[in-house]
Amino acid sequence: MDASQRTYEEVCRNAQELVPDLKPLSFYQVQRRARDLSGIVTWEHHMCFNSCIGFTGPFAVLETCPECGQPRYDQQELDESDGERKVPRKVFTTFPVGPQLQACWKYSQTAKSMFYQWEKTEELR
């Protein structure tokens, strides 16, 4: 569980203390609604436990970090599942820029702001 999920769940608990009948959405439901409304998706990538590298591109097939030798996957999970469950020890999240730009053009006010920036950039040419 990451910090944003812990924070969200703590806020929900606090709100339920004030309003006992409150039935807040789960963290997953909120994430899904935000993704559906914004059109912005995230990609998770495995990374070295010591943050040396991301296991992407030429490193995507590696099971240990070429810099520090740390294993990519949780060794206890691997052992308990006879190598079936490959749970990364650490991940990082990226937001592809294409959907973010598309989302900006979706609404008139942000589209107007984007067009203003384009106009000013063109004036500098």
Same domain, 60 and 80: yes
Same domain, 55 and 90: yes
Q: Which domain holds residue 110?
A: 97-125
pLDDT at residue 1, rounded to an integer: 62
Low-confidence ranges of the chain (pLDDT < 50): none
SS3 for 1? coil
SS3 for 111? helix
Q: Which of 109, 98, 111, 99 is nearest to 37 (CA)?
A: 99
pLDDT at residue 67, rounded to an integer: 97
pTM exceeds 0.75: no
- Is residue 53 within 8 Å of residue 59, measured between CB atoms? yes
